[in-house]
Structure 1
C-alpha cells in the first residue's frame, strides 16, 4: 500500500497554491508554555527538528504551519529551511503575539505590516504563501472593523503574501473570511463540528479550508479497537470542503502513522 501523500496534493481553493492533505504544525518547535496537549513534551533540538522536516518531505508533506505566537518557531524554521524554500508552502499568521508566557492581540493594519516584515526576516524568505489572521474569537469585528483584511489584500498585491484568510472560531467569521479572502482555518473533529457550515460554503464556492485540531490536539479517544486517527481522518476528509488538516506532531512514528492513515482514507482503502 502506498503510504505517502506525494500523489495526493490538491489546490487550496482558488488561491493558486497546491498543498498536501496533511500539513505539519510547528508550535512544538517553538513553544512549550500555554499549549493544550494532554502530555508534556520537550522542544526538539535542531538535529531532531531537521530530521522531522526531512521525514515530512519524504512522506509527501509540503505544507508548514507556523505563527509569531508559536514562540521561536519562525526563527528556527528560517535556517532549517535554507536551500529548500520552494519545496514548502508556508503558512504564518498575524494578530497574536506570545510574550512572557502570555498571549496578546493586535489587529491593527500597522501591526500586521510590521508582523509580516518580521516573519519574512525570521523565515529568511521573500514571501509568505498563506497568511492567516490569528483570531481571539471576535472574528466579525476583526474582519469588518479593523481594516486588517484590507491591509492583507494590499500585502498580497505587493507580493509579500500569496494568499490570506482567517484562523477563526465562529461560523460567521469563517463565512466572512471566505467571502473576502482565500482560505479559512477551522476546528473540525470528532468532538467539535460547529463550524461545518464554513466547510459547506467552501465546497460550494471553491475556497480553501485548513482544519486545525483534527485530532482534538491529541485528545481524540474512542472505543476499544477503534483507531482514533483513522476515525478522525474519515470525518475530516469525508467532507469535500476540506483541503488539508494541520497535525502538530514531533514524534516520527506518529507522523508516519498519520500520513499512512490519511493516504489510506483519501484513497478509499
Structure 2
C-alpha cells in the first residue's frame, strides 16, 4: 500500500471490537450549510461530487464516517450513496439534537432516543449503526443523570440495532461519566483546546474508545509562519495513545488527500520514534 494512505494504520476503538481509520470523514457539509462554525462559506456538494468524495476517502483508507440527525440531510443522502458498500464503513451517528428551520433543539428522552435511532437506521438504509453518540447540549452531567438517553442506547445495543454507544460532550466531568457507563467519548482536543485531556487519560486506562472532534479546530488553528497547522494538530492528536480516530469535515478532495498523507506521516513517525 502507498505510504500516503491509512489502509494499514487502522486501530481498535477501545473495546468495541471496531477497527477504525485514524481519520474519519465528517459529513455535516453534505447536509447542512446553516449555523455551522467554519471560517469560510461552502456549497453543499451534489450527489456526483459527494460520491466522488466518499470513493476518494475509501481509496485513501478511511473507513469511519460521522453523521448525525443535526447535520441536515446528511443521513438521508448517505443511505443511497453508500448502497452496496455498507460492510466497508464504520458508521457513527448521534441522538439528542435536531436541526430544523435554522435552529437546534435537544431531546434526551427515551421515546425520542429510540425514535431517532430507528429513523437513522431507515435513512442510512442499514439494520445496524456501529456507534451512536449522544449529541450533548453542554449540560453533560444533567443529560446523563436526569434523562434516559444512555439507558435507551444500552437497550438498543442489546437488541443489536447499534454496535456501541457513547457521548459527544463538552466537559471533563461529562466525558468521564460517559466513559464509565458507555463505550466511547467524542471529545474536543486540538492546539487551541486541551482541557478534556483527562477524558483521554481515563479512556486509555480503562480500554474505552476516543474519537476527536475539531482536531483541526474547525479550520481555525493559527500558528507562527512556517508551521503546518495540519501536521502540528495531528502530532498533538496522535501522540495520545487513547485516540483512535480524528474526524475531518472537509469536502475538498485536495484537503482530504493532504490530511490523509499528513496523518499517515505523523503516525508512522510516532511509531518509529
TM over 0.5: yes
Aligned residue in 2 for 1:222: 223
Aligned residue in 1 for 2:137: 136
- For 1:210 and 1:240, how far apart are their aligned partners in 2? 12
- For 2:4 and 2:43, how far apart are their aligned partners in 1? 28
Residue 124 (structure 2) pairs with residue 123 (structure 1):
yes
Aligned residue in 1 for 2:195: 194
Aligned residue in 1 for 2:160: 159
Aligned residue in 1 for 2:149: 148
Aligned residue in 2 for 1:238: 239
Secondary structure of the structure 2 residue equivalent to 1:268: helix
Aligned residue in 1 for 2:257: 256
* 1:3-34, Cα deviation, whole Å (9 max, x unpaired): 00000001100011110000000000000000
Aligned residue in 1 for 2:184: 183
Residue 115 (structure 2) pairs with residue 114 (structure 1):
yes
CA drift at 1:173: 0.5
CA drift at 1:154: 0.3
- For 1:155 and 1:147, how far apart are their aligned partners in 2? 12
Which 5+ residue runs of structure 1 have no aligned equivalent?
none
CA drift at 1:147: 1.5
Aligned residue in 1 for 2:13: 12
Residue-pair matches, total: 269
CA drift at 1:260: 0.4
CA drift at 1:56: 0.1
Which stretches of structure 1, 4 residues or longer, exceed 6 Å deviation after superposition? none
- For 2:103 and 2:203, how far apart are their aligned partners in 1? 33
RMSD: 0.7
CA drift at 1:145: 1.4
- For 1:181 and 1:16, how far apart are their aligned partners in 2? 14
Aligned residue in 2 for 1:56: 57
- For 2:266 and 2:145, how far apart are their aligned partners in 1? 38
Q: Taking structure 1 as the reference length, what is the TM-score of the superposition?
A: 0.99
- For 1:26 and 1:63, how far apart are their aligned partners in 2? 11
- For 1:86 and 1:228, how far apart are their aligned partners in 2? 33
- For 1:37 and 1:208, how far apart are their aligned partners in 2? 26
* 1:123-174, Cα deviation, whole Å (9 max, x unpaired): 0000100000000001111111102111100000000000000000000010
- Please identify, of 78-87 and 145-154, the stretch whose mean Cα deviation from structure 2 is larger: 145-154
- For 1:3 and 1:106, how far apart are their aligned partners in 2? 42
CA drift at 1:240: 1.1
Aligned residue in 1 for 2:84: 83
Secondary structure of the structure 2 residue equivalent to 1:243: strand
CA drift at 1:241: 1.2
Q: Taking structure 2 as the reference length, what is the TM-score of the superposition?
A: 0.98
- For 2:239 and 2:99, how far apart are their aligned partners in 1? 34
- For 1:209 and 1:109, how far apart are their aligned partners in 2? 25
Secondary structure of the structure 2 residue equivalent to 1:177: helix
* 1:208-239, Cα deviation, whole Å (9 max, x unpaired): 00000000001112111110000000000011
- For 1:49 and 1:220, how far apart are their aligned partners in 2? 26
- For 1:164 and 1:18, how far apart are their aligned partners in 2? 15
Secondary structure of the structure 2 residue equivalent to 1:131: strand
